[in-house]
Amino acid sequence: MPTFRAPRGTRDLLPDEAARFNRFARVARDLAERYGYRPIETPLFEQAAVFERGLGEVTDVVEKELFRIAPRTEDSEAWALRPEPTAGIVRAYVQHGMHTWPQPVRLSMMGPMFRYDRPQAGRYRQFWQFDVEAIGDPGPAIDAEIVELGLRFYAEVGVRGAEVLVNSIGDPVCRPAYLGVLTSYYRRRAIDLPPTDRDRLERNVLRLLDSKDPAMAAINAAAPRITDHLCDACAAHLAGLRAHLDALGVPYRMAPGLVRGLDYYTRTAFEFYVAGREGQQQAIGGGGRYDGLVELLGGRPTPGIGFGVGLDRVALVLDEQANVAGARADAVDSGDLGTLDVVVVSADPDDTVGRLRVATEIRAAGLHARADLGRRKLGRQLEAASRDGAHFAVILGDELATGHVQIRDLEAGTQRAVATSDLARELARAVKAHRHG
């Protein structure tokens, strides 16, 4: 048992997994660029009030899961690690006067989030999200753009069968009346409610629809639906979103019970699942419209919409799908493996300078190369190179005196001498031929 371990609910991303996350980042960055969402980074922690006010006091994320940072002195601010990126991004939008920029401001980020949740598969205390936000457009066309972008991300990282569930959760015009109807419905069943939900009934009744307690499933299934209580403007917005999704050929399912776990949402709410995996209650992403959030955080009234993709869950799904297909996860995800083209080895175990110098030259020519810097026999160096997955070894031997080295094809087992002056060019040609054929 090691003395120190990664904290409960966190995990180390070892090289194979970290390489996969790098690939997620490449796909995310490329998609964001293609769709015109510019990168933004915000601090990993904020004033706790940004989250308390932004996400809502009576939400799991704020009530139970916020990682609060103990104040250093009595009068210092209350800070918290970010449980999600939207509130921080909106805080930045207000702080930097982004309302003067051309609207909407399209932004994207990828990074770690922190929630003090009960850890289980797919639920971590530190997890990664790919997030996009479009602030300053009331929709509904941009709502469809965002939903389609989310589905495109799953397709491009290789998730099969991602689908989106869509709902509208109304706005300050129609929601109060609906909440009244919902409250009377639950009050009539108060004795059947689990204690947490009974407690929330009077404080934030919408959360009950999102309850994870199995005892709530039947009660929630029969609860009044918000889509039957939308005002004309919200109903028109939902119809507009559906028309745009239909026009784009984006398949979606209406989910009248979907309410999301954060309070800032208005109108459009959606979640991404993998077909057949819904039972695990694990969305691989989710988002929606937050037309009141900018104002709530001190800006002028400005509409916004976005989503967050849970990358740890995407990784789990890719593993599951690879297992079902009988393939190894890393074979399916082979784009994730770092390609090592060349290892430089030497017949003289003491000549580390020569190996390092040649490897440096090869890398300067743009190839992926590692010098074997161990003081061990040539045979051992070659074995290690093969184990590392290198395609070629460059062997420094006696011919170095006449300006020659050997290039060995580790898979074919063949080798030939080349002049050191031609080495980079020869290797580049060999590596290219190997990759393409």
List residues binding ligand HAM (CB under 6 A).
Answer: 84-86, 115, 117, 122-124, 127, 129, 131, 133, 261, 283-288, 290, 306-308, 310, 312-313
Considering the complex, what minimum distance in angstroms separates the CB of residue 296 from ligand HAM?
A: 14
Contacts of 356 (CB under 8 A, 6+ apart): 371, 373
Considering the complex, what minimum distance in angstroms separates the CB of residue 243 from ligand HAM?
A: 22
287 or 292: whose CB is closer to ligand HAM?
287
The Cα–Cα gap between 204 and 259 comes to 12
Considering the complex, what minimum distance in angstroms separates the CB of residue 403 from ligand HAM?
A: 56
The Cα–Cα gap between 108 and 29 comes to 8
Considering the complex, what minimum distance in angstroms separates the CB of residue 343 from ligand HAM?
A: 38
105 or 396: whose CB is closer to ligand HAM?
105
Considering the complex, what minimum distance in angstroms separates the CB of residue 18 from ligand HAM?
A: 17
Inter-residue contact 235 to 137 (CB < 8 Å): no
Considering the complex, what minimum distance in angstroms separates the CB of residue 427 from ligand HAM?
A: 43
139 or 310: whose CB is closer to ligand HAM?
310
Helix, strand or coil for residue 367? coil
Burial (0-12, 13-18, 19+ Cβ within 10 Å), 334: exposed
186 or 252: whose CB is closer to ligand HAM?
252
Inter-residue contact 95 to 297 (CB < 8 Å): no
Inter-residue contact 81 to 44 (CB < 8 Å): yes
As given in the structure block, the two tokens for residue 211 are 């309850």
Radius of gyration of the chain (CA): 27
259 or 359: whose CB is closer to ligand HAM?
259
Contacts of 24 (CB under 8 A, 6+ apart): 110, 128, 130, 157, 311, 314, 315
* Nearest of 370, 58, 332 to residue 197 by alpha carbon: 58
68 or 375: whose CB is closer to ligand HAM?
68
264 or 392: whose CB is closer to ligand HAM?
264
63 or 426: whose CB is closer to ligand HAM?
63
The Cα–Cα gap between 337 and 191 comes to 55
Select the residue whose beta carbon is closest to ligand HAM and give its number: 310
Place of tokens 């509409």: 303
Considering the complex, what minimum distance in angstroms separates the CB of residue 253 from ligand HAM?
A: 16
Considering the complex, what minimum distance in angstroms separates the CB of residue 83 from ligand HAM?
A: 7
Considering the complex, what minimum distance in angstroms separates the CB of residue 3 from ligand HAM?
A: 27
Specify the long-range contacts of residues 208-214, CB closer than 8 Å, at least 24 apart: 208/182, 209/182, 209/257, 209/259, 210/259, 210/260, 210/261, 212/281
87 or 424: whose CB is closer to ligand HAM?
87
Considering the complex, what minimum distance in angstroms separates the CB of residue 229 from ligand HAM?
A: 23
What is the arrangement of strands in the sheet containing 45-47, beginning at the earlier edge strand? 45-47, 79-81, 68-69
Task: Spell out the alpha helix ranges (H) of 190-341.
Answer: 195-201, 206-209, 217-221, 232-248, 293-296, 311-324, 329-332
112 or 240: whose CB is closer to ligand HAM?
112
Helix, strand or coil for residue 382? helix
